[in-house]
Structure 1
Amino acid sequence: MRRRLICAFVAFVSMCMWSIGQMKAVTVTLTVDEGVGRPAALSRAEQNLSMVLTEINRAQQAKTILTTRGFPMDDFSLRSLLRLWAVTPFYCDDEEVVERCWIFKDGTMMVSHIPLIITPEGENFGVGTYQEAVIEFDSNGGITDFRLALDAHVAESMERCGSVVEKEKQMIIMQYIERFRTAYNQRDSDYIEKIFSDDALIITGKVITVRRNNDFGGLSQKVEYTKQTKEQYIRNLKKAFKRNKWINVKFSEIGENGESGGCAGITRSTVDPTKYGVRLRQEWNSSNYSDEGYLFLLWEFPEDGRDPIIHVRTWQPEWVGGKRQQPDDDISTLGAFDL
């Protein structure tokens, strides 16, 4: 009996290897921002994601289960992947995936916009609904999360910015923005904690000076990003409030078509009408620290009259190494979060 099981397993593995050989492997290239050092773990992250996407394509085409033995995933990410697969199989739509990767201060990494096709039961391979996946990695390149981006939609770049918001709604949103700004100036952490959703995605950043690793030496500047949970962000914010005798935060709207074209400052989701993207220029001045940058807030204004909440907060600098940066649509629009 045991011998039959072993033979069956060997035959199954051989079939999988034959199928993979017939299907071209998905190659993954992850890029980093200019001035950001490329960590060694990024290559492992590319290889690990390539392995997972290739197996997903093999299993979807062969209409078989996923062979997850040896997958470079922790228990949480593997369970997430298997739950998604059990509900509706999918496959990667591109044989060559090239995407920007966030590199966080603690060495962890995150990539979004991984193209997937969701294939309902009974449909042929190559036909389905477009979705995008978000993948997170630990500091060694191992996969720690595999999830679908919410409400991903196929859309042209300008449509992904969102729809134009009527003036009345803009005024209401700006009223809440002003309350939000005032809370920082008043060091009111209770209000800020209340206005963020419990599962909010918060990305903060600061410009740091580093020594170049080349023959010429010298100093250069780069942006150091940190991804935080709501709990972590509020805890660190309270510490910042205690360190600074005073804080003065100013927001100014990015124009109707962005600083130099692109998405408007306030847009409404074409997928979920309760979601609004707000892009702002932020000036942060305090007794211990100052910076200027672009702030993106993903707000939800529930239709049932409940108080609005913030689901996403991202920040990027306006100046790096003496050069002015433009708002990056990849991190500061509704399209960046598939809305």
Structure 2
Amino acid sequence: MKDRRILLFPVLVFLAAFLLDKLFFLGDLEHYFLTTASFKNYEHKVEMVDELDAYLKKEDRKKVLVIFGNSRTMPFSNEYIASAYPGWVLFNFSVPGGTSDYYLFILEKFRERNIRPDHAILAVTPQGMNETALVSLDEVMITGLPAGFVSRHASHYALDDLSNYIAKKSFLVYQYRPKLWVIQDRLEEGHVEQFRNFLGLLEDALRKERGSVPVKAEEGVVDSEERMEAYARSIWKDFFVPFTLSSDQLYFTRQCLEILNGLDVPSDMVWVRVSQNLRTRIDQEPAETDVLKPRTVREIWEPEMRKLAQSENAGFLDMNFATDFPCDQFTDASHLSAA
């Protein structure tokens, strides 16, 4: 009998830790330690599927463009769209760090509900498809994807990613990792109210702009070549080298295009423009290791994207090398400015 009680001890410890973890998220207690509001973007995109479905059923509607992307494709303005393209409306399903697995999660909902916009754009980037990046970002998987989706496509996630997903979904404190200095700051008079107001403003903006988050044209433009070079060098080191094209992200992208084809929705993949400093590295610097003739990121990635686009009846728009794109102002090495 005593031996049986000993065996129960680890289970009791686990349950106690699990329940204690959930106490941190009762009411609005998490507002005292959260350092990001990106979860609002993910929550809103799921809600926006209903809004899109309802709009498409209107008899007097405009044509609908949907965009699936990341932070590079979020800063659109409905006012600009209405002025420049009066016959169209934009529903922006871009999320911070967005990758093709998240696009597929939303597009599976389109297929289930027979949602057929007039055109779809998928933003694709080589850094989002590098499976050997030194910095691994899990925000999309942890914050944006439910367990059902992850389990259906589990064979296309690494075992480490799945273990990390289970751990962070089970223990939210492990996911958000409260920091003492943040809690101390929020406890100061008015600070937690400021954070709550920010969350409210973000929610309002996402609803008003149908998923976009407009920024002021004058905000954040990098006016120093030295700063831009520092940004490019850091991004290159963290996300591009060594470069190994992820077959799993290719799978997710292909699945997205197949769903759009099945719905008879015309589609394009867009390689959003990055700064000259980063473009040069992508085009010229070797990004492979342990090979006699290492290829550049562009040599590895771009042909696969063009082949995929052709096989799935989609367009491929290269805003970096194949088009004379007039804008070259950036807020960092990989984000175009609204200026």
Taking structure 2 as the reference length, the TM-score comes to 0.24
Higher share of residues assigned helix: 2
Q: Could you say which structure has the greater relative contact order, defined with CA pairs below 8 angstroms and 6 or more residues apart?
A: 2
Taking structure 1 as the reference length, the TM-score comes to 0.24
